[in-house]
């Protein structure tokens, strides 16, 4: 069997003492920066890149990859504990994870996230090993119309994220899209909504928006209504999931892993869409969808699995085609270029030891992560025992440091504060920030691909339905819309009849 000999080669490389060490360092570092809100893998890998000048390429890449998936692991920790998603993918985890923490089930949520991630990571590694070349061709089947359809589907799914009124969440998605359009217009190079403020010529960074809307506004509202504030620490019952938790989480994990492994391959937000898609899917399939947003364990397990599988799967187009599906992968390519290695279609045949070594190291890295993270669950949960008067200034400081570290600009810190206040106002009027954030991320991507599609087709809208893949995606989107609208319509009719 080719696969086994290849994997044997890979493990031979990854299990050398030196590479194990790099893998461990990467996973550890990744967990740490993942836990620190705002300091993401992008900034960390960028800072560490010059150091890799002095390392040999396999070790360097194993370490950088470890940082990337380690951060995906760690990112959920603050999302669950203090409602602070440091990564775009952990926005979804925060929805139910934080509610679980408030109910004293922080340990269960963290353990579920870790186990789901581990499962997804292992499966995705196997997927990469078996199907990398085949899956990478899928990335090339996606042209602008297909991406447009995919983003549209993601946006429709965003509406499902909210627990409250559909109208409010559509409104939030719209505001998010508007905010996302700030910056330089890609097609003409003109400035939009920038008011000559040069700091926002490239648009507003996701981290600034997410930390403001989730983290800072959470702090404001916790401080504002003192008497209703219940500290999660008062009633932590157990750390590990019960049998019932496990039964609920397992199918969600499997579905999430599948979604992530497929969508993660697509360049431009595939991995992210997968975690949102997984959440919507779980909510759809649940017998009692009203539990979502109030601490449903599937809402943590599914998206976490999807997110990790997606992160791992995003290596496929990078390794097999040399096409980076996200900014972190673009940096990985830069790291390879430093060492004179050119990732591209010939990478697999030219550099088999590096290719298979990296894949084997991902599996080892996932194992290291789960061993590292499960014992830490107890420690993280203890953090919640810190009185809020001490905890919230710490969170604020971390938020500021994280936001500042993106572009080394104080402007961004003020912007985050502004979003914090805005987020608090939204809460007071019963609007939820999650759909806004999704609109913010997907809106600009949708616009870019939509305009490119029409540019290429000379303004002909028919391309969306004449290409089979985009037609299918649009069909699914319409179906989702109808499913969403039906109960509301029915309710609407009922109330109409009553009058």
Partner 1 sequence: MIKAWAICGIAIATAISTIVPAAAVYPERPITTIVAWPAGGATDLVARGLQEALGKSLGQQVIVKNVPGAAGTIGTSEAAAATADGYTILITPSGPTVAQPHRMKLTYDLSSFDPICKLVEQPLVLMATKSTKYKTIADLIAAAKAAPGKITYGTSGPGSITHLAKLALEKAADIKLKHVPFKGSADAVQALLSDTVDLYSDQANLVPQYDLLPIAIYGETRSDNFKDTPTVRETGFDVVMTNYNAIFVPAGTPDAVKTKLGQACKAALDDEKVKEIYGRQKYPIAYQDAAAFKTYVEADYKRVKDLVEAAGLGKK
Q: List interacting residues with partner 1 (CB under 8 A).
A: 45-47, 49-50, 53, 139-144, 184, 186-189, 196, 198-199, 201-202, 267-268, 321-324, 330-331, 333-335, 337-340, 342-346, 407-408, 448, 452, 455-456
Cα–Cα dist 451/467, whole Å: 17
Q: What is the DSSP letter of 191?
A: E
Minimum CB distance to partner 1 smaller for 67 or for 384: 67
Cα–Cα dist 253/268, whole Å: 23
CB–CB of 41/30 below 8 Å?
yes
Instruction: Please state the closest distance from residue 252 (CB atom) to partner 1, in A.
Output: 32
> Could you tell me the two tokens for 301?
């397990």
Instruction: Please state the closest distance from residue 335 (CB atom) to partner 1, in A.
Output: 8
Minimum CB distance to partner 1 smaller for 456 or for 482: 456
Instruction: Please state the closest distance from residue 412 (CB atom) to partner 1, in A.
Output: 11
Cα–Cα dist 66/89, whole Å: 17
Instruction: Please state the closest distance from residue 154 (CB atom) to partner 1, in A.
Output: 18
Minimum CB distance to partner 1 smaller for 16 or for 184: 184
Minimum CB distance to partner 1 smaller for 132 or for 296: 132
Instruction: Please state the closest distance from residue 453 (CB atom) to partner 1, in A.
Output: 9
Instruction: Please state the closest distance from residue 198 (CB atom) to partner 1, in A.
Output: 5
Q: Which residues pair with 191 in a beta bridge?
A: 184
- The angle subtended at Cα 62 by Cα 61 and Cα 64, nearest 5°, is 60
Minimum CB distance to partner 1 smaller for 334 or for 367: 334
Minimum CB distance to partner 1 smaller for 188 or for 234: 188
Minimum CB distance to partner 1 smaller for 368 or for 403: 403
Instruction: Please state the closest distance from residue 212 (CB atom) to partner 1, in A.
Output: 19
Minimum CB distance to partner 1 smaller for 432 or for 448: 448
Minimum CB distance to partner 1 smaller for 55 or for 84: 55
The continuous run of DSSP H or E covering 247 comes out as helix 243-263
For 369, residues 6+ apart whose C-beta sits below 8 A from its C-beta are 27, 30, 31, 69, 70, 73, 114, 117, 118, 121
Nearest to 132, CA basis, from 299, 358, 321: 321
Instruction: Please state the closest distance from residue 50 (CB atom) to partner 1, in A.
Output: 5
Total Cβ atoms within 10 A of residue 143: 16
Q: What is the DSSP string of 269-336?
A: THHHHHHHHHHHHHHHH-S-GGGTTS--THHHHHHHHHHHHHHHHTHHHHHHHS--SSHHHHHHHHHH
Phi-psi region at 199: left, alpha or beta (left = phi > 0; alpha = psi -120 to 50): alpha
Minimum CB distance to partner 1 smaller for 123 or for 328: 328
Instruction: Please state the closest distance from residue 184 (CB atom) to partner 1, in A.
Output: 8
Q: What is the DSSP letter of 142?
A: -
Cα–Cα dist 2/133, whole Å: 14
For 314, residues 6+ apart whose C-beta sits below 8 A from its C-beta are 264, 265, 270, 271, 325, 326, 329
Instruction: Please state the closest distance from residue 324 (CB atom) to partner 1, in A.
Output: 5
For 331, residues 6+ apart whose C-beta sits below 8 A from its C-beta are 42, 45, 46, 49, 64
């Amino acid at each position: 069997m080719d696969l086994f000999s290849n994997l044997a080669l890979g493990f031979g490389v990854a299990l050398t003492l030196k590479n194990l060490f790099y893998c461990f360092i990467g996973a550890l570092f990744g967990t740490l920066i993942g836990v620190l809100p705002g300091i993401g893998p992008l900034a960390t890998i960028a800072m560490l890149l010059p150091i890799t000048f002095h390392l040999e390429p396999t070790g360097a890449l194993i370490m950088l990859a470890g940082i990337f998936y380690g951060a995906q692991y760690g990112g959920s920790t603050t999302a669950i504990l203090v409602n602070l998603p440091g990564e775009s993918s952990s926005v979804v985890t925060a929805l139910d994870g934080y509610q679980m923490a408030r109910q004293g089930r922080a340990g269960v949520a963290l353990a579920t996230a870790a186990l789901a991630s581990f499962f997804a990571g292992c499966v995705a590694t196997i997927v990469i090993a078996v199907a990398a070349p085949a899956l990478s061709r899928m990335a090339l089947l996606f042209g602008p119309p297909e991406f447009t359809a995919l983003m549209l589907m993601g946006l429709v799914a965003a509406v499902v994220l909210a627990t409250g009124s559909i109208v409010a969440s559509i409104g939030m998605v719209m505001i998010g899209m508007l905010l996302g359009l700030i910056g330089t217009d890609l097609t003409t190079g003109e400035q939009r909504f920038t008011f000559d403020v040069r700091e926002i010529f490239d648009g507003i960074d996701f981290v600034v928006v997410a930390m403001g809307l989730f983290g800072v506004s959470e702090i404001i509202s916790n401080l504002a209504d003192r008497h209703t504030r219940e500290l999660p620490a008062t009633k932590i019952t157990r750390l590990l999931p019960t049998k019932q938790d496990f039964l609920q989480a397992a199918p969600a994990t499997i579905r999430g892993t599948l979604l992530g492994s497929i969508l993660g391959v697509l360049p431009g937000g595939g991995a992210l869409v997968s975690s949102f898609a997984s959440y919507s899917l779980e909510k759809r399939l649940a017998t009692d969808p009203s539990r979502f947003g109030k601490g449903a364990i599937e809402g943590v397990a599914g998206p976490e699995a999807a997110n990790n599988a997606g992160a791992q799967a995003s290596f496929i187009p990078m390794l097999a085609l040399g096409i980076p599906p996200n900014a972190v992968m673009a940096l990985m390519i830069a790291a390879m270029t430093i060492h004179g290695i050119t990732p591209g279609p010939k990478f697999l045949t030219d550099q088999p030891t590096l290719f298979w070594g990296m894949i084997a190291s991902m599996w080892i890295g996932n194992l290291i992560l789960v061993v590292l993270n499960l014992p830490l669950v107890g420690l993280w949960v203890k953090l919640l025992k810190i009185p809020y008067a001490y905890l919230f200034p710490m969170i604020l400081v971390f938020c500021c440091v994280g936001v500042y570290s993106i572009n080394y600009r104080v402007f961004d810190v003020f912007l985050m504060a502004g979003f914090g206040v805005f987020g608090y106002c939204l809460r007071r009027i019963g609007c939820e920030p999650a759909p806004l954030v999704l609109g913010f991320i997907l809106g600009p991507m949708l616009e870019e691909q939509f305009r490119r599609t029409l540019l290429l087709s000379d303004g002909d809208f028919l391309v969306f339905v004449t290409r089979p893949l985009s037609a299918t995606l649009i069909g699914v989107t319409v179906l989702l819309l109808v499913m969403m609208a039906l109960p509301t319509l029915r309710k609407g009719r009922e109330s109409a009849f009553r009058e």
